[in-house]
Structure formats: C-alpha cells, structure tokens
C-alpha cells in the first residue's frame, strides 16, 4: 500500500475526532466508581471511545497481513481510559465497581496485591461473550478498557496470536 493511500485513513481519523464517531471521553463512569471505592483521585491522561465508524476507519488503516490488528474486525465499540494517580490514601479501599459486579458480569480474573489490582470481567449474551472490561490499577496509574462486539472471536484470535508469539520466542532461544 502506498504512503498516500495510508494517509487517507489517518486524515479520516482526524475528521472523526470531531464527530460522534470518536469521543475523547473514555470510561468515566467506571473511573468514578473506582475513585469512590478506593478513595483515590485521578487525573485523565487520555480517554477515547471508538464506535463502529471509528473502528471501521481504524480497520482501513490496518495492514491486511497484520495479525495483531485483526482483532479489531470483531469489535463494535471500544473505550480506553488512562488516568494518573493524583492523590491516593495511605490505605486505599478495595477496588469495587458497584453495579458492574452485579449478575450480568462474570469475573474472570481478580488479582489484588499491595501495589496493583487487576480485574477482568465478561458479559455474555445468549452464551457468547459480548463485552469485556479490563481494569489495571497500580500506585501510579489506572487503565480501563471496555470492549463490545463478538468477543469470543477476539479472545480466540488473541489466544492463537499468543501461542504463535510464544513459539517464535521459543525458536529464538
């Protein structure tokens, strides 16, 4: 693909940033719930939401042979927020997400250590994973990723890619 053709999706993405197809908000509601439960204040470094149109533009910019980016094919929406810790109490409370932990969400991973918390939750519809929430909270930063789409396919692709990378790394040693 020529460089001029590669610039078209980048230009479209800039235009999309000014439209409802792309928002610079990120997952603020989840950040507020975490802030309330832990007593920690955060300042936003970046927050972005891409819907179907924004993801379609991102897919246009993909190299068709780039396996790592093919996971975007099955996403319909993604929200990403990165927040810097402004003020954390000496003994922060347990990271809780209020309504997020209710019946519709299935916790897959919950790791609580003194300096880091990780939470991965799935939401299923008709037995298939349709939403995933990943939260990583450490002493310096909070990262929240919420994805929607056909996530069974995304998880399968990620597992295959991880296995392939592991084999490649093993072959190098």
120 pairs with which residues across the strands? 109, 134
pLDDT digits (tens, 9 = 90+) for 43-73: 999 888 888 877 777 777 666 666 666 677 7
List, for residues 1-30, the tens digit of each pLDDT value: 445 555 555 555 555 554 455 556 678 888
Q: What is the pTM of this model?
A: 0.74
- Indicate the pairing of strand 128-138 with strand 41-50: unpaired
Task: Give Cα separations from 9 to 54, 63, 76 (angstroms).
Answer: 10, 12, 18
């Amino acid at each position: 693909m020529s460089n001029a053709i590669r610039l078209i999706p980048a230009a479209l993405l800039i235009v999309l940033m000014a439209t409802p197809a792309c928002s610079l908000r990120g997952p603020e509601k989840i950040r507020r719930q975490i802030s309330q439960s832990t007593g920690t204040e955060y300042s936003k470094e970046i927050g972005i939401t891409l819907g179907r149109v924004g993801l379609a533009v991102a897919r246009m910019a993909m190299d068709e042979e780039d396996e790592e980016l093919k996971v975007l094919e099955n996403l319909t929406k993604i929200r990403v927020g990165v927040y810097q810790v402004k003020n954390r109490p000496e003994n922060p409370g347990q990271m809780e997400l209020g309504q997020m932990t209710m019946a519709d969400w299935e916790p897959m991973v919950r790791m609580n250590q003194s300096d880091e918390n990780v939470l991965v939750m799935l939401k299923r519809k008709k037995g298939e994973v349709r939403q995933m929430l990943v939260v990583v909270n450490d002493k310096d930063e909070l990262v929240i990723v919420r994805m929607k789409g056909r996530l069974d396919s995304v998880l399968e692709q990620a597992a295959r890619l991880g296995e392939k990378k592991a084999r490649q790394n093993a072959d190098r040693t």
